[in-house]
Amino acid sequence: MINNPYLENMVANANPVRLVIMLYEKAINCLENALEIGDTEDFDMQKSKYEEIGRALEIISVLDAVLDMEKGGEIAKNLREIYRSLTDELTYQMLKEDKERLEKVIKILKNLKSAWEEVERIHYGKAQKVAPGV
């Protein structure tokens, strides 16, 4: 259940491709937050950082779980490989701090999001704009 009426309305009225884009946006936002926190000795900040990475991992897991391998064919297979690679990278990030790896994951997610925005533009007309941080 969503506690934000604006977000709830946006999700309820979004096309399936827009929902995927929204998941990418949230994962990117979480990882950018983790990157912003950076290396710190502060326990609460470390906890927040790992929570953000954990949220991104959950989102990537959902994206992987909803892939339709029969209908998606080679694209779904490639996405599964990418999602699993991203999961490995983020798991590594939880064990060893590596800013460059985290930046690499963010870049890949942004590229995937852009590809889905193009799919949305082609199939649904002009891409919808979503409020930042959603």
At the top level of CATH, which class does the domain 5-124 belong to? mainly alpha
| Matching residue, tokens 């990117």 | 28
- Each residue's pLDDT tens digit in the chain (134 positions)? 556 776 676 777 789 999 999 999 999 999 999 999 988 888 899 999 999 999 999 999 999 999 999 999 999 999 999 999 999 999 998 888 889 999 999 999 999 999 999 999 999 886 555 544 44
Helices 16-37 and 99-124 pack at an angle, to 10 degrees, of 160
The whole-number pLDDT of residue 134 equals 46
- C-alpha span between 128 and 1 (Å, rounded): 23
| Matching residue, tokens 């929204």 | 22
Q: Indicate the pTM of the whole model.
A: 0.85
- C-alpha span between 10 and 3 (Å, rounded): 12
The whole-number pLDDT of residue 44 equals 93
C-beta pairs of 37-44 under 8 Å, 24+ apart in sequence: 38/99, 39/97, 39/99
Task: Domain ranges for the chain, please list them.
Answer: 5-124
CA 66-72-73 angle, 5° bins: 130
Element (H, E) at 37: helix 16-37
- DSSP state, residue 129: P
